[in-house]
């Protein structure tokens, strides 16, 4: 006589597969914002009261919004919780929340930047670098409807992501790397390689008259609109995209997408549409060497500036090879910190 | 994910901060009748001792508020602002210094805010800003903000290669129609016009009187 139990055991793999399928389907059916809110709340649930108090801020906390930098935390202390003070489960939950708010490519870039900083830690005389020194903070209450913000950053990284409905707004954000080129086993990692290569390809696609417009006659030694420069819009210079042909404009948009696609996948569409709508008034300016060694980053500065966009790429000539140390800035002067989402 | 054997392709500088340059970034803002300049100064590690020697006037190793102000004025003395070829005095509005421990490590900064009044009602101006502070190690940035006032329009700025010299032309459409005080050329023109009107009026009155006198004279008196 057959019993029920052996049947269950026999069918266990099928049941488990069905369960996993349903679970995966349920997650997939969730909107990206629901997944972000779920992952963030899950992270918060791993914290004790004291930790929760440290990681959460009011959505309109201006001081916390502006508490970011390219510099190590010893120079510009961050608030929130550092990865180094979280236990393994908390740290996994924190990084899962960050991964959810970013695209797969964006999260990979973040990991490469942190890994580069880990390399600096091994050579540094003081404990001011490394993956443990990246901070997470939450401004406002995670919600699918009302705006809130997730911040994640440390040395060479400052992500300020405002979530408003289905949109994730990544401005202002600083993305940098040092070393900007390293190897893991046999794989070469260039955290900002595409940002360098696509820009050089665009410059090379310009004709002589366009290059004369685009290439500035002066040296630009650093970011102009870096940390502490919120709310400023400088006079644009260089070559306007209205003077580019369609192929060049497509190349410019592909270059801009390197920043616009860091955030989770449902956001770049609307963001790129905004940027396209202002493309005719978008400028491309270049300062410095117009060539680069194969497989290495450019040593030139460039800026892309439009009605709702500022991108700066600034190699750092700080006693070493500028191609190995890069700061980049990504802003929307009309919508930094999700200003539009909260405008009354 | 990446935690395996890591091999650097090139030597990594130990620090992530400025070394042998003195970054001096100026942002200029144009307003009606006024120019504002915001300076951000970041001394590199290698040049900090030289910069600090200028800041620490009594060489006691620490910086007092008076020494900070004195250094801000020293920087100010190395700057020049000209509007329409006329030097304009820059006024120190504020200054803020990062702690010495950060500055000496190439990670701090000095912020200095300056402003100057632009006299006169002219609508077109040529601005020239020059920074000659620590030129041997200076690494300069100079930029102008898009004016918040839509009446002010800027031409493409020009710079020398190291950005220590910055110039642009701008127009302020509100200057002519605004309530700004009249300049001496305007007053002179107004006085001249008034004088001409008064003279014309006197001549007219005299002419009328003489005509009236002629008409009123008795017939028998005529030759």
* Residue A108 phi, psi (nearest 5): -65, -40
Q: Do B9 and A182 touch (CB under 8 A)?
A: yes
Give the least confident one: A158-167, A215-224, A326-335, B16-25: B16-25
A261-287: average pLDDT: 93
Residue A283 or B105, more confident: A283
Work out the angle between the directed axes of helices B48-55 and B65-77 (0-180°, nearest 10): 110
A77-81: average pLDDT: 93
The verdict on B10 touching A (C-beta cutoff 8 Å) is yes
pLDDT bucket at B9, cuts 50 / 70 / 90: very low
Q: Do A184 and B23 touch (CB under 8 A)?
A: no
pLDDT bucket at A19, cuts 50 / 70 / 90: low
B interface test, pick of A109, A178, A235 with most B CB neighbours within 10 Å: A235
pLDDT at B124: 92
The verdict on B100 touching A (C-beta cutoff 8 Å) is no
Alpha helices in A170-329 (DSSP H): 193-205, 208-214, 246-260, 268-277
Q: What span, in angstroms and rounded, lies between the C-alpha atoms of A172 and A158?
A: 8
The verdict on A126 touching B (C-beta cutoff 8 Å) is no
pLDDT bucket at A7, cuts 50 / 70 / 90: low
pLDDT at B185: 45
pLDDT at B20: 85
pLDDT digits (tens, 9 = 90+) for A228-258: 899 899 999 999 999 999 999 999 999 999 9
ipTM of the complex: 0.83
Q: Do B159 and A72 touch (CB under 8 A)?
A: no
Q: Find the closest chain B residue to A307 by CA distance.
A: B146
pLDDT digits (tens, 9 = 90+) for B53-101: 999 999 999 999 999 999 999 999 999 999 999 999 999 999 999 999 8
- Helix (H) or strand (E) segment spanning residue A109: helix A104-123
- Quick one: B10 exposed, middle or buried, by C-beta within 10 A (0-12, 13-18, 19+)? middle
Which residues in chain B (156-195) have CB-CB distances under 8 A to chain A?
156-157, 159-163, 168
Which residues in chain A (240-259) have CB-CB distances under 8 A to chain B?
none
A112-136: average pLDDT: 90
Q: Do A181 and B163 touch (CB under 8 A)?
A: no
pLDDT at B60: 94
pLDDT at B36: 97
Q: Do B13 and A178 touch (CB under 8 A)?
A: yes
The verdict on B198 touching A (C-beta cutoff 8 Å) is no
pLDDT at B59: 93
pLDDT at B182: 45
Closest CA relative to residue A96, chosen from A85, A105, A107: A107
CA torsion A131-A135-A141-A147 (nearest 10°) is -90
Q: Find the closest chain A residue to B159 by CA distance.
A: A218
Q: What span, in angstroms and rounded, lies between the C-alpha atoms of B201 and B205?
A: 6
Residue A138 has pLDDT above 60, yes or no: yes
Rounded mean pLDDT of chain B?
82
B interface test, pick of A224, A318, A334 with most B CB neighbours within 10 Å: A318
Rounded mean pLDDT of chain A?
91
pLDDT digits (tens, 9 = 90+) for B17-59: 567 889 999 999 999 999 999 999 999 888 999 999 999 999 9
Residue A301 has pLDDT above 80, yes or no: yes
pLDDT bucket at B12, cuts 50 / 70 / 90: very low
The verdict on A73 touching B (C-beta cutoff 8 Å) is no
pLDDT digits (tens, 9 = 90+) for B171-192: 998 876 544 444 444 455 556 6
Closest CA relative to residue B16, chosen from A243, A258, A119: A119
């Amino acid at each position: 006589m057959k019993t029920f139990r052996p049947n269950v055991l026999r069918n266990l793999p099928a049941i488990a597969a069905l369960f996993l399928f349903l679970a995966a389907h349920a997650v997939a059916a969730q909107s990206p914002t629901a997944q972000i809110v779920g992952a963030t709340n899950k992270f918060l649930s791993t914290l004790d009261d004291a930790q929760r108090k440290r990681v959460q801020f009011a959505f309109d906390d201006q001081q916390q919004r502006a508490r970011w930098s390219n510099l190590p935390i010893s120079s510009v202390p961050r608030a929130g919780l550092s990865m180094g003070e979280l236990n393994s489960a908390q740290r996994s939950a924190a990084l899962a929340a960050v991964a959810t708010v970013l695209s797969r490519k964006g999260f990979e870039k973040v990991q490469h930047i942190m890994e580069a900083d880990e390399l600096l830690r091994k050579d540094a005389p003081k404990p001011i670098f490394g993956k443990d020194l990246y901070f997470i903070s939450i401004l406002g209450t995670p919600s699918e409807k009302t705006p809130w913000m997730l911040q994640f950053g440390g040395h060479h990284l400052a992500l300020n992501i405002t979530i408003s409905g289905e949109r994730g707004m990544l401005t202002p954000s600083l993305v940098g790397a040092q070393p900007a080129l390293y190897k893991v086993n046999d794989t070469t990692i260039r955290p900002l390689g595409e940002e360098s290569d696509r820009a050089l390809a665009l410059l090379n696609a310009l004709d002589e008259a366009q290059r004369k417009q685009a290439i500035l006659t002066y040296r630009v030694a650093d970011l102009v609109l870096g940390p502490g420069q919120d709310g400023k819009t400088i006079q644009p210079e260089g070559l306007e995209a209205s003077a580019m042909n369609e192929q060049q404009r497509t190349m410019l948009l592909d270059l801009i997408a390197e920043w616009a696609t860091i955030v989770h996948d449902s956001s770049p569409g609307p963001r790129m549409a905004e940027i396209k709508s202002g493309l005719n008034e978008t400028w491309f300016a270049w300062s410095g060497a117009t060539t680069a060694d194969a497989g290495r980053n450019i040593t030139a500065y460039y800026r892309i500036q439009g009605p709702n966009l500022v991108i700066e790429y600034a190699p750092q000539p700080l006693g070493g090879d500028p191609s190995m140390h890069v700061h980049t800035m990504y802003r929307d002067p009309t919508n930094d910190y999700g200003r539009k989402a909260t405008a009354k | 994910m990446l935690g395996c054997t890591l091999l650097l392709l090139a030597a990594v500088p130990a620090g992530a901060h400025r070394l042998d340059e003195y970054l001096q970034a100026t942002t200029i803002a144009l307003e009606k009748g006024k120019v504002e300049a915001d300076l951000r100064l970041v001394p590199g590690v290698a040049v900090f001792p030289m910069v600090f020697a200028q800041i620490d006037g009594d060489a006691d190793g620490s910086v007092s508020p008076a020494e900070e102000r004195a250094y801000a004025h020293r920087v100010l003395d190395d700057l020049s602002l000209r509007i329409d070829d006329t030097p304009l005095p820059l006024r120190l509005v504020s200054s803020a210094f990062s702690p010495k421990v950060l500055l000496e490590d190439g990670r701090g900064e000095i912020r200095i805010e300056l402003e100057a009044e632009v006299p006169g009602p002219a609508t077109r101006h040529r601005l020239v800003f020059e920074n000659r502070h620590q030129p041997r190690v200076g690494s300069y940035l100079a930029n102008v903000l898009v004016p918040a006032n839509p009446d002010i329009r800027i031409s493409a700025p020009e710079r020398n290669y190291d950005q220590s010299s910055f110039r642009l032309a701008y127009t302020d459409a509100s200057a002519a129609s605004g309530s700004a005080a009249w300049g001496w050329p305007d007053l002179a023109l107004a006085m001249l016009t008034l004088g001409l009107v008064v003279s014309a009026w006197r001549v007219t009155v005299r002419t009328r009187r003489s005509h009236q006198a002629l008409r009123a004279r008795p017939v028998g008196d005529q030759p």
